[in-house]
Amino acid sequence: MFNFYLLAYTVVIFCLGCLLFLYSLRYNTLLSAVGKAVLITGCDSGFGHALAKHLHSQGFLVFAAVLDEDGNGAQELKSYSSGRLRVFQMDVTKREQVQDAQRNIECHLENNDFWAVVNNAGVIINVGEAELLSVDVYKQCMDVNFLGAVAVTKMFLPMLRRSKGRVVNVSSLLGAVPISRISAYASSKAALEMFSDILRQEMKPWGVKVSIIQPTAYKTGQICNFMYWEQQNQSAINTLPVEVLEDYGEAFIRENKNKFLQSVSTFCNDLSPVIKAITMALLSKYPKGRYSAGPWISCIKAVSYLLPSSVTDSIFSSVFLPHDQIPNALKNAIQKK
């Protein structure tokens, strides 16, 4: 009897191992980059900048869209002086510029297939409780992180349908896991995730693959610009209604910025996990619908999905950007008891 169960256990483990091996082969079979063109938005710095250089080295024809064509990031990419790395200015929130980019790219494909759009352009405007963030902060995040990606995707979908290509949308862990004091940015990324998941279903009959990239915390863009965060924090204080400012207090509001900047020191410098994930989404014969990139992301998502919200709320609020200060109104209420 013992030998029978041992044999059955061995067979099950062997079968599972074979399935995992076949699964790995399926998702790690890569296509050639030669003869394929890709558009990447937000190449001034961060993921987009690093990705443009990496995909160029892989053999792609890269169209690198930047917000500032005279900026250091754009100039560094231009220094490649390569016919396979073309840098141009495009603000994803400006429909005319997106239209111009589509026409220019279509005219300069030469013998390459237009294979993919990587919607990487993104902004995080300010941090703080939802009540402390202006509606303009939400609008700016939505305009770039969500509506900009939608506009670019829609403009290039006819070309992607012809090539049976790819759409790769760079989201964030924050688009899937609720972390307090980052609601404007997180909401825009959550909208991008839902758009991507629905688009993937709709594009399946056309042969177009849609993937989401979920990075954790990386040092990109304005993240390390301490002066920027000081200005944004002061702007929030200056524009708050008097009643709200009095209820929270300046000390509490400034702590949001200070806690965020402290957390930045723990962010990753090595962008390679994200670059690898995007490359897999572009070249895998059978790309996944969602790629996670960064430390602890699977653990954090598991906690968020499996535990009750009453538990996850307590965990996340105590681990991510925890407050030492108490809003003035709550402090006064405690003192009166």
CA–CA gap between residue 28 and residue 31 (Å, rounded): 10
Q: DSSP letters along 29-85, please? A: -B---TTEEEEES--SSHHHHHHHHHHHHHT-EEEEEES-TTSHHHHHHHTT--TTE
Backbone φ, ψ for residue 37 (5° rounding):
-110, 145
Q: Strands 166-170 and 85-89, how do they pair?
A: unpaired
Quote the CA–CA distance of 288 and 304 in Å, as a whole number: 21
CB atoms within 10 A of CB 129: 16
Please tell me the distance from the alpha carbon of residue 57 to that of residue 189, in angstroms, as a whole number: 29
Type and span of the H or E element at 128: none
Cα–Cα distances in angstroms (integers) from residue 297 to residues 10, 208, 268, in the given order: 32, 27, 13
List Cα–Cα distances, 257 to 69, 188, 195, 233, in angstroms: 30, 20, 31, 7
Q: Active site includes 185?
A: yes
Token pair, residue 178, equals 């609720």
Residue 287's closest CA among 215, 212, 199?
A: 212
Catalytic site residue from 23, 185, 228, 291: 185
Active site positions, annotated: 185
